[in-house]
Homo-oligomer: A and B are copies of this chain.
Amino acid sequence: MKPREFRQIVREGLFTGTTLNVCEGYVMANLAVVPKEYAFDFLLFCVNNPHSCPLLDVTQPGDPRPLKIAPDADLRTDLPKYRVFQHGELGDEPTDIVKYWRDDFVAFILGATGALHPLFEGANLRFRTTGVHKTNIECGPSGPFRGQMLVTCRLFPSTQEAVRAVQISSRYPGLHGAPIHIGDPSVIGVDLQQTYSKLDPSARVAPPAPNEIALFWGCGVTPQSVAEDAKLPIFISHKAGHMFFPDVLTEELAAI
């Protein structure tokens, strides 16, 4: 399915589920919406932490259309599920945010790591994921936005496959780019048995085998996590797993 068709179905309220394996070959993206008052600080946070926050598009204040990556999309209706935070507390999980939208809202669209999986599989790489983990790496702060980097981890069964995964992901800075760490998880404060969200379905994975190499990538939940911690009067994101699909093929993002 093309992203445009999928967005139409979502807009009509006919799909509110998770977006795994939708729109094959296309980029999937995270959403973060903040009032204009906080937009400079949040944009600078993204610029300062590109491994966590690969910017694909930023809207003009009040305009719900991401003109660069999906000009006919409406970010208020085209994601299956949203989360609305007020002063850091989750207040609502609506299927659209029309009633919350304001003239001073700025939306940030951030590349999601999931689009790397087909690339890894396309190169015959074997790997397993362990979920999202909190590290001890401090993000570059900006205004009220500060906190520790979250990462995704993938375990590869050979050094050759790990090296190839570095090469492939390096080509896609818009999808978090190269890994931020390789090897011993404890060096960055991670215990693979502990995931950021207890609801994470990939939690409680088998511990790494002796031959397995752990690679860690910046995770798009980081900006969401720091925005929650900043306790803005209002902050809106997509609900985990309920992503936005722009009109951008993964291969269009390849840097080289």
| Contact flag A68-B40 (CB < 8 Å), given A170-B256, A255-B255 | no
Q: Shortest beta-carbon distance, A164 to chain B, in Å?
A: 14
Residues on B with C-beta less than 8 A from A253 are none
Write the chain B residue with the least CB distance to A42.
B40
| Contact flag A47-B40 (CB < 8 Å), given A255-B255, A255-B256, A256-B170 | no
A171 interfacial contact with B, CB 8 Å = yes
A140 interfacial contact with B, CB 8 Å = yes
Residues on B with C-beta less than 8 A from A40 are 36, 39-40, 43
The listed residue with most B CB atoms (<10 A of its CB), out of A40, A60, A256, is A40
Which of the residues B36, B44, B60, B255 comes within 8 Å of A43, measured between beta carbons?
B44
Q: Shortest beta-carbon distance, A37 to chain B, in Å?
A: 10
Is B58 a contact partner of A255 (Cβ separation < 8 A)? no
Q: Shortest beta-carbon distance, A174 to chain B, in Å?
A: 11
A55 interfacial contact with B, CB 8 Å = yes
Residues on B with C-beta less than 8 A from A171 are 256
* Copies in the assembly, this chain: 2
Residues on B with C-beta less than 8 A from A58 are 44, 47-48
Is B60 a contact partner of A55 (Cβ separation < 8 A)? no
B-facing mask of A159-191, CB < 8 A → 1, else 0?
A: 000000000001101000000000000000000
Residues of A1-51 whose CB lies within 8 A of B: 36, 39-40, 43-44, 47-48
| Contact flag A140-B68 (CB < 8 Å), given A40-B39, A255-B170 | yes
Residues on B with C-beta less than 8 A from A60 are 142-143
Residues of A125-152 whose CB lies within 8 A of B: 140, 142-143
Q: Shortest beta-carbon distance, A249 to chain B, in Å?
A: 18
Is B68 a contact partner of A255 (Cβ separation < 8 A)? no
Q: Shortest beta-carbon distance, A108 to chain B, in Å?
A: 10
Q: Shortest beta-carbon distance, A188 to chain B, in Å?
A: 20
Q: Give Cα A143–Cα B47 distance, bound, in whole angstroms.
A: 19
Q: Which 7 A-B pairs have the closest CB atoms?
A: A40-B40, A170-B256, A39-B40, A43-B43, A44-B58, A256-B256, A47-B55
